[in-house]
């Protein structure tokens, strides 16, 4: 049984931890309009320590509306994608403390689905939609002001993710493969809607739904391009079309890449990059991005299936 002085020490440590958490959150822009007393309410929900690789939220529908406040350490954002009949998770970003993940989730009728996984020993607080509403209620912050704050943060998240996506595509295929005007115009449109709605105090669930759909699309495409970049690369198989074994069917793009790599010491990814860059330079519309990258992944698998039958290049 604890002695009275032991309990007093526990209470003192608990109060000190609460004060430290409140001080951290008070410096975060996400909570700039929240009273310190309300942050105490949030801190008392008890942040939890996570080991490296431990899941903070798993990306399931039940965790969609939760906000994650990372107080120490860092977390990876992972997105689930379907490759053929196999579901895989790809890391699409890393967030360092102090930071918030899930600002788009809180008010969206259809929140984007992604998992948050501790990248190192981290301290994080998982907060429900209801707790966030209560937090701002205690701060006497009106719903329009609260939604304005989160909408602007959501736009910033979309901008950051769009930048990461375009950088990843440019690194792999070069700068001219995408029609970026449509993608950036959509982002500018969302930002304009948020600014207009904030000015008129008229931000509703539909705005957050549009932001959520856009971020979900960005997360999906970024996960696909990440999957392509992380796939182990091999030398392009040296085979003519007549040497392709029966039972193996190649797409037109895979055949073109195979022919392009004949008697050249280049990899599968290099041959495919060169092939698709010729095919779609500056013509890839937003609606076709996901299908395009899935086709590339399929081409990689097709060309890798030829490796056991390849011979040395005739150089």
3-state secondary structure of 82: strand
Query: What mean pLDDT comes out for the span 108-129?
Result: 86
Where in the sequence is the domain holding 269, given as residue range(s)? 231-309
pLDDT given for residue 263 in this prediction: 82
Q: Are residues 121 and 252 in the same domain?
A: no
Q: 310 and 239 in contact (C-beta within 8 Å)?
A: yes
Q: Which residues on neighbouring strands pair with residue 124, listed in sequence order? A: 48, 70
Residues in Cβ contact with 169 at an 8 Å cutoff, skipping those fewer than 6 apart: 177, 178, 225
At residue 69 the predicted structure's pLDDT band, cuts being 50, 70 and 90, is very high
Q: Are residues 123 and 258 in the same domain?
A: no
> What is the torsion angle, in degrees rounded to the nearest 10, for the CA atoms of residue 299, residue 302, residue 304 and residue 309?
-140
Nearest by Cα to 147 from 122, 275, 155: 155
Query: What mean pLDDT comes out for the span 78-85?
Result: 91
Q: Are residues 169 and 194 in the same domain?
A: yes
Domain end among 172, 204, 228? 228
Q: Are residues 177 and 282 in the same domain?
A: no
Q: DSSP letter string over 27-77?
A: TSGGGTTS-HHHHHHHHTT--EEE-TT-EEE---GGGTT-EEEEEESEEEE
297 vs 15, higher pLDDT: 297
Domain count, the chain: 2
Q: Are residues 172 and 50 in the same domain?
A: yes
pLDDT given for residue 203 in this prediction: 58
Q: Are residues 69 and 157 in the same domain?
A: yes
Residue 70 has pLDDT above 70, yes or no: yes
pLDDT given for residue 204 in this prediction: 63
Measure CA 142 to chain center: 30
Residue 6 has pLDDT above 60, yes or no: no
pLDDT given for residue 286 in this prediction: 87
pLDDT given for residue 106 in this prediction: 75
At residue 62 the predicted structure's pLDDT band, cuts being 50, 70 and 90, is low
2-11, 14-23, 104-113, 244-253: which range is least confident on average? 2-11
State the CATH number of the domain containing residue 138.
2.60.120.10
Q: What percent of the chain has pLDDT over 70?
A: 88
Domain end among 188, 204, 228? 228
At residue 36 the predicted structure's pLDDT band, cuts being 50, 70 and 90, is confident
Q: Residue 224 and residue 208: Cα distance in Å, rounded?
A: 24
ω into 98 cis (within 30 of 0): yes
Residue 220 has pLDDT above 90, yes or no: yes
In a domain, 295, yes or no: yes
Residues in Cβ contact with 235 at an 8 Å cutoff, skipping those fewer than 6 apart: 265, 266, 267, 268, 310
pTM higher than 0.85:
yes
Query: What mean pLDDT comes out for the span 177-183?
Result: 83
Q: List pLDDT tens digits, range 239-284.
A: 888 888 888 899 999 999 999 988 888 999 999 988 988 877 667 7
In a domain, 21, yes or no: no
Residue 313 has pLDDT above 70, yes or no: no
In a domain, 314, yes or no: no
Q: Are residues 49 and 120 in the same domain?
A: yes
Q: Residue 262 and residue 252: Cα distance in Å, rounded?
A: 16
Query: What mean pLDDT comes out for the span 99-128?
Result: 85
Query: What mean pLDDT comes out for the span 196-210?
Result: 70
Q: Are residues 101 and 180 in the same domain?
A: yes
pLDDT given for residue 11 in this prediction: 38
Q: Are residues 218 and 85 in the same domain?
A: yes
pLDDT given for residue 12 in this prediction: 40
Domain end among 172, 206, 228? 228
At residue 79 the predicted structure's pLDDT band, cuts being 50, 70 and 90, is very high
Cα separation values, 247 from 237, 250, 305, Å: 17, 10, 11
In a domain, 19, yes or no: no
Q: Residue 93 and residue 203: Cα distance in Å, rounded?
A: 28
In a domain, 119, yes or no: yes
Q: 18 and 44 in contact (C-beta within 8 Å)?
A: yes
pLDDT given for residue 119 in this prediction: 97
Q: 18 and 38 in contact (C-beta within 8 Å)?
A: no
Q: Are residues 213 and 272 in the same domain?
A: no
Q: Are residues 220 and 89 in the same domain?
A: yes
Q: Are residues 188 and 282 in the same domain?
A: no
Q: Residue 172 and residue 272: Cα distance in Å, rounded?
A: 10
Residue 189 has pLDDT above 90, yes or no: yes
Query: What mean pLDDT comes out for the span 41-56?
Result: 90
Residue 147 has pLDDT above 60, yes or no: yes
In a domain, 68, yes or no: yes
């Amino acid at each position: 049984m604890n002695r009275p002085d032991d309990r007093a020490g526990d209470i003192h440590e608990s109060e000190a931890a609460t004060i430290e958490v409140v001080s951290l959150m008070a410096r975060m822009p996400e909570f700039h309009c929240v009273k310190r007393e309300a942050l105490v309410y949030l801190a008392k929900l008890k942040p939890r320590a996570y080991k490296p690789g431990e899941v903070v939220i798993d990306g399931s529908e039940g965790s969609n509306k939760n906000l994650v406040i990372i107080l120490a350490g860092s977390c990876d954002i992972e997105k689930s994608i379907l490759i053929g009949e196999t579901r895989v998770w790809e890391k699409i970003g890393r967030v360092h403390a102090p930071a918030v993940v899930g600002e788009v989730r809180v008010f969206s009728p259809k929140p984007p689905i992604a998992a948050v996984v501790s990248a190192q020993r981290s301290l994080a607080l998982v907060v429900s939609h209801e707790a966030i509403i209560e937090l701002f209620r205690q701060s006497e912050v009106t719903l329009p002001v609260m939604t304005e704050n989160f909408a602007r943060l959501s736009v910033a998240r979309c901008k950051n993710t769009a930048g990461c996506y375009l950088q990843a595509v440019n690194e792999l295929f070069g700068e001219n493969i995408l029609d970026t005007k449509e993608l950036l115009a959509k982002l500018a449109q969302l930002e304009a809607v948020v600014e207009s709605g904030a000015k008129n105090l008229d931000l509703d669930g539909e705005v957050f739904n549009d932001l959520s759909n856009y971020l979900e699309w960005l997360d999906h495409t970024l996960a696909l391009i990440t999957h392509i970049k992380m796939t182990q690369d091999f030398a392009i198989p040296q085979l003519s079309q007549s040497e392709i074994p029966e039972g193996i069917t190649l797409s037109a793009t895979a055949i073109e890449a195979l022919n392009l790599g004949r008697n050249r010491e280049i990899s599968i990814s290099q041959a495919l990059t060169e092939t698709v860059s010729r095919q779609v330079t500056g013509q890839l519309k937003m609606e076709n991005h996901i299908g395009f990258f899935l086709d590339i992944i399929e081409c990689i698998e097709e060309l890798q299936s030829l490796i056991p039958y390849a011979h040395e290049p005739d150089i």
